[in-house]
């Protein structure tokens, strides 16, 4: 790929790049953004700390400005890495019953599953709770260190592109909920003791969430690579695709597409399309796969509990019923919502959106877009049940007195979660806005920029 002809803005030595005026004030032409959810082309206003710009058509957040974004993100990322190091270095939780007990570390919630022929589930657990978050945080530190030095470090653009792709797969917060559900399930049967690692991981989950929220992607990309001028003749207040334009989902830059509706971002190199290729076909295929896998996920046991030599397999629904019988209504509700309501609701919602996408109009599109946002947000929380199994299998290992082993439904249910998340990613919400509008309801064209 040829080198880009622009450079990041330079500042006098000793002045932090991120504390200068907004990037909007340093371009000769207004910076344009094409909404990733409705394709509306707008010009970003100057943003100050604590402000954000939203799409006037669908309300999607286009850019957020933070005070001292590089310093804040770097400090939070370093603190999160320290908390993660503590979480993997000390005991996570221990239990004892009848004079027999067990103590586990955080990594054992994944490695123990390998011994029960569940390597795929073990890899998924380890990646989502530790490996991917650590890579993400290290990437944030690397990028912000380069910005503070006023000289981006090597591979900064590739790392910045990767951050947006890693974000949906980090599930430390979901793991905390799974840990709490696991502890409540066994609190009445054994004595539980929380280790330093448990509290460190709780702090890590909060810091990771704060880091992702503090990352100012608009400032980040402007600082790394500046911003090329918007394409000539671009008209704000209209959809971008009919103008032969597309906004980059990674860095936000508006680019002109070739005659086939494809292209590559001039700033970050990401592939661009007027609409995601074969979006509906891919979504339908992933929904079909998730539906097929959802059957064994509910018919087969997700774990088997052995107590005093007696083994009792438990399905997802069976586990909810057992929790209700034990009087743990709140936990039963959490498991039922995360493992039944959310997957089924997501399958139905995405299928319905695929069916009605060609019959959308200006009145129904906003409501359907909000439904899409909801399905995209809740999908990852279905991993709670998989994390519950991982924790209980690692912790409850007292031989014939009490032990828990994973069932075949764990892998099937994990496949359902991943498939539905991918289905939401492959669905292009801009299709909901593509139906032709009546002439009298079309918005007035904006002036060329």
Tens of pLDDT along the chain (449 residues) come to 343 333 444 433 443 333 344 565 555 456 899 999 999 999 988 888 888 899 999 899 998 888 888 889 999 999 999 999 999 999 999 887 766 778 889 998 999 999 888 899 999 999 999 999 999 999 999 999 988 888 888 989 999 999 989 999 999 999 999 998 888 877 767 788 899 999 999 999 999 999 999 988 888 888 888 888 888 888 888 999 999 999 998 988 999 998 788 889 988 888 999 999 999 999 999 999 999 999 999 899 988 887 766 778 888 888 888 778 777 777 888 888 888 898 999 999 999 999 988 776 666 888 899 999 999 888 888 899 899 989 988 888 766 567 788 889 999 999 999 999 999 999 999 999 886 544 444 444 343 33
Beta bridge partners of residue 306, listed in sequence order: 311, 403
Torsion-angle region of 68 (φ positive above 0: left; ψ -120 to 50: alpha; else: beta) = left
The DSSP letter of residue 447 is P
* Alpha carbon distance 129, 133 (integer Å): 7
Residue 229 CB partners (closer than 8 Å, separation 6+):
27, 28, 29
Non-local (6+) Cβ contacts of 261 within 8 A are 241, 273, 274, 275
Q: What is the pLDDT of residue 419?
A: 95
Distance CA 350, CA 372 (A): 7
Helix (H) or strand (E) holding 306: strand 303-307
Measure the CA–CA gap between 217 and 121, rounded to whole angstroms: 32
Q: What is the pLDDT of residue 160?
A: 92
Q: Look up tokens 């069932």; give the residue.
A: 407
CA distance 159 to 141: 11
3-state helix, strand, coil in the chain (%, to 5): 55, 15, 30
Please count the other Cβ atoms lying within 10 Å of the Cβ belonging to residue 179. Answer: 26
CA end-to-end distance (rounded Å), the chain: 28
Integer Cα distance of 168 and 147 in angstroms: 25
* pLDDT the model gives residue 12: 39
- CA 315 to each of CA 110, 300, 318: distance values in angstroms, whole numbers, following the listed order: 21, 6, 5
Alpha-carbon distance of 247 to 257, in angstroms, equals 10
Query: Cα–chain-centroid distance for residue 217?
Result: 15
Q: Where are the domains of the chain?
A: 23-65+227-266, 92-128+169-191+278-433
The answer to whether the CB of 267 falls within 8 A of the CB of 4 is yes
At residue 329, the pLDDT reads: 79
Q: Which two tokens stand for residue 188?
A: 């009445």
Query: How many angstroms separate the CA atoms of 43 and 45, rounded?
Result: 6
Is 442 buried (19+), middle (13-18) or exposed (0-12) by CB count in 10 A? exposed
Helix orientation angle between 279-299 and 316-325, rounded to the nearest 10 degrees: 50
pTM for this one?
A: 0.85
> Could you tell me the two tokens for 126?
């380890």
In our burial notation (b when 16+ CB lie closer than 10 A, e otherwise), range 39-76 reads bbbbbbeebeeeeebebebbebebbbbbeebbbbbbbb
Q: For residue 152, what pLDDT is reported? A: 85
C-beta of residue 164 within 8 angstroms of C-beta of residue 248: no
């Amino acid at each position: 790929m040829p080198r880009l002809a622009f450079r990041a803005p330079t500042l006098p030595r000793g002045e932090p790049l991120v504390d200068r005026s907004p990037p909007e004030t340093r371009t000769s032409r207004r910076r344009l953004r094409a909404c990733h959810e409705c394709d509306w082309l707008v010009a970003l206003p100057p943003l100050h700390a604590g402000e954000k710009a939203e799409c006037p058509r669908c309300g999607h957040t286009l850019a957020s400005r933070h005070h001292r974004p590089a310093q804040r993100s770097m400090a939070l990322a370093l603190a999160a890495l320290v908390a993660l190091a503590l979480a993997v270095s000390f005991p996570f939780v221990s239990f004892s019953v009848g004079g027999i007990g067990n103590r586990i570390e955080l990594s054992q919630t994944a490695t123990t599953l390998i011994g029960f022929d569940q390597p795929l589930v073990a890899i998924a657990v380890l990646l989502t709770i530790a490996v991917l978050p650590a890579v993400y945080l290290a990437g944030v530190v690397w990028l912000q260190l380069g910005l503070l030095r006023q000289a981006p470090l090597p591979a900064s653009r590739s790392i910045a592109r990767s951050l947006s792709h890693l974000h949906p797969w980090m599930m430390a917060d979901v793991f905390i909920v799974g840990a709490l559900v696991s502890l409540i399930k066994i609190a009445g049967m054994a004595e539980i003791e929380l280790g330093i690692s448990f509290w460190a991981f709780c702090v890590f989950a909060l810091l990771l969430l704060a880091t992702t929220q503090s990352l100012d992607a608009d400032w980040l990309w402007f600082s790394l690579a500046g911003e090329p001028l918007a394409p000539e003749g671009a008209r704000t207040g209209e959809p971008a695709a009919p103008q032969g334009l597309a906004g980059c989902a990674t860095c936000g830059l508006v680019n002109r597409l070739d005659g086939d509706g494809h292209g590559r971002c001039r700033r970050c190199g990401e592939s661009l399309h007027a609409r995601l290729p074969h979006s509906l076909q891919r979504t339908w295929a992933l929904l079909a796969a998730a539906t097929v896998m959802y059957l064994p996920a509910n018919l087969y046991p997700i774990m088997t509990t052995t107590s005093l030599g007696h083994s009792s397999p438990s399905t997802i629904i069976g586990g909810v019923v057992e929790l209700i019988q034990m009087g743990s209504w709140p936990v039963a509700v959490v498991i039922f919502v995360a493992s039944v309501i959310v997957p089924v609701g997501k399958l139905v919602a995405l299928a319905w959106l695929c069916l009605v996408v060609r019959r959308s109009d200006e009145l129904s599109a906003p409501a359907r877009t909000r439904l899409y946002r909801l399905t995209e947000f809740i999908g990852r929380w279905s991993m709670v049940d998989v994390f519950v199994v991982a924790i209980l299998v690692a912790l409850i290992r007292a031989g014939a007195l009490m032990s828990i082993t994973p069932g075949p439904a764990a892998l099937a249910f994990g496949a359902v979660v991943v498939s539905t998340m991918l289905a939401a990613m492959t669905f292009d919400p801009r299709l909901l806005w593509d139906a032709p509008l009546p002439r009298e309801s079309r918005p007035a064209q904006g002036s060329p920029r």
